[in-house]
Amino acid sequence: MFYPVGSRYTRAVANSSDVSAVRALLCKDYDCAAGMLAQPFGEGRGRVLAQRSHMLVLSFGDEADLIVVPTQEIQNLLWSFSNGYAAQWSTPELRALTGCERWDDVLQLAGRELDALATDLARAIAGKGKELPSVAPNEFTGDVMELPSDYLYSMDLEGESCVH
């Protein structure tokens, strides 16, 4: 297997589009940062096309399938957990790396982010932008600046001291 966490935290997405166009759409519509085409897992294990939060989109060349995997730091955490080394990570370390304080939360975060980016990647490959939620029209008809009469009032602070 190419990655420390194995296939459980790897999503392959079939690609027939130009990776530059997919990358541009991921960055424009799906809150991803463009990758520098680095190879964090070593030669031949994919170049970082884009990143969102703790997940990477890896490319193996033009019009090749794309892979979504966790970042190296998250993979190290997941590998440690799955191989019985979870105790080597302290709560402050988990919080610093993931924002989570418990292992259950780290596992849920990784799964949720992995699935979400794989879904968005498939949409980007299909050339679809992010669907914006429909917004109900504003039905307020009153004066926006209308405030109750006692909302703003002046206070006499002479003689009052702020020091206790």
Alpha-carbon torsion 109, 112, 113, 114, what sign?
positive
Grouping H, G, I as helix, E, B as strand and the rest as coil, residue 21 is helix
In a domain, 117, yes or no: yes
Q: Which of 116, 15, 98, 100 is nearest to 58 (CA)?
A: 15
Write the pLDDT tens digit of every residue in 22-50.
999 999 999 999 999 899 999 988 999 99
In a domain, 11, yes or no: yes
Beta strands at 47-52 and 11-13: parallel, antiparallel or unpaired: unpaired
Are the C-beta atoms of residues 11 and 35 closer than 8 Å to each other? no
Task: Quote the CA–CA distance of 123 and 120 in Å, as a whole number.
Answer: 5
In a domain, 142, yes or no: no
Domains in the chain, number: 1
pLDDT for res 74: 96
In a domain, 56, yes or no: yes
In a domain, 102, yes or no: yes
Give the structural domain span for 107.
6-125
More confident position, 87 or 64? 87
In a domain, 140, yes or no: no
DSSP output for 11-33: EEE---S-HHHHHHHHHHHS-PE
How confident is residue 61, by pLDDT bands cut at 50, 70 and 90?
confident
0.85 surpassed by pTM: no
Question: How much helix, strand and coil, in percent to the nearest 5, is found in the chain?
Answer: 35, 15, 50
Task: Quote the CA–CA distance of 117 and 53 in Å, as a whole number.
Answer: 10
